[in-house]
Amino acid sequence: MEDVTKESKPEKFDVIIIGAGPVGLMTANMLGSLGIKVLMLEKLDKLIDYPRGVGIDDESIRTIQAIDLEQKAMRHITPFHWARFYNSKRKLLASIEPRQTTFGWSRRNAFHQPLVDKILHEGLSRYENVTLKFSSRVETYLQDNEGVMVTGSTRDGELFSYQAKYLVGSDGGASEVRSNMNVTFDGSTAPDPFLVVDIEDDPIGTPNLEFICDPRFPYVSIALPHGVRRLEFKVEKDQIVNDIDVTDEFMTTCLNKIKPSLNHSNILRRRVYRHNARLVSDFREKRFILAGDAAHLMPVWQGQGYNSGLRDANNLAWKLAMVVKGVSSDKLLDSYSEERRQNSKEMIDISVLTGKLFSPSNRFLAVLRDVVFGLSKLIPAAHKYITTMKWKPIPKFTKGILVTAPKKEKHSPVGTIFFQPDVKDEQGNIKKLDNIIGLNFAIIAWGSDPSIHFDDETRDIVKKIGAKILTVVPEEQRESALEIKSKSDSDSEYIFDHTYAVNEWFDWTYGSVVVIRPDRFVAGITQPSEFPELMKALAKKLALVKV
Q: Which residues of this chain interact with ligand FAD, rule CB under 6 A?
A: 18-24, 41-44, 48, 51-55, 113, 137-138, 170-172, 176, 196, 273, 292-294, 300, 303-307, 309
- Residue placing its CB nearer to ligand FAD in the complex, 111 or 446: 111
- Residue placing its CB nearer to ligand FAD in the complex, 51 or 147: 51
- Residue placing its CB nearer to ligand FAD in the complex, 20 or 495: 20
- 76-109 burial code (b ≥16 CB/10 A, e <16): bbbbebebbbbbeeeeebbebbbeeeebbbbbbb
β-partners of residue 13 are 164
Residues with Cβ within 8 Å of 43's Cβ and at least 6 positions away in sequence, in order, are: 135, 136, 137, 138
Whole-number Å distance between alpha carbons of 215 and 527: 57
CB of 291 to ligand FAD, least distance (A): 7
Whole-number Å distance between alpha carbons of 58 and 460: 34
Angle at 49 between CA 179 and CA 186, to 5 degrees: 25
Helix (H) or strand (E) holding 149: strand 148-154
Which amino acid is residue 93, in one-letter code?
L
- Residue placing its CB nearer to ligand FAD in the complex, 171 or 339: 171
Residues with Cβ within 8 Å of 242's Cβ and at least 6 positions away in sequence, in order, are: none
CB of 274 to ligand FAD, least distance (A): 9
Whole-number Å distance between alpha carbons of 42 and 299: 25
Which amino acid is residue 310, in one-letter code?
L
- Residue placing its CB nearer to ligand FAD in the complex, 53 or 511: 53
CB of 248 to ligand FAD, least distance (A): 20
- Residue placing its CB nearer to ligand FAD in the complex, 347 or 523: 347
CB of 139 to ligand FAD, least distance (A): 7
H helix and E strand count, the chain: 15, 30
Which spans in 183-278 are helix H? 248-258
- Residue placing its CB nearer to ligand FAD in the complex, 232 or 449: 232
- Residue placing its CB nearer to ligand FAD in the complex, 351 or 376: 351
CB of 208 to ligand FAD, least distance (A): 14
- Residue placing its CB nearer to ligand FAD in the complex, 79 or 474: 79
CB of 77 to ligand FAD, least distance (A): 12
Which spans in 128-222 are helix H? 176-179
The upper half-sphere exposure of residue 70, i.e. CA atoms within 13 Å in the direction of its Cβ, equals 21
Report the chain's terminal Cα–Cα distance, integer Å. Answer: 28
Whole-number Å distance between alpha carbons of 31 and 58: 22
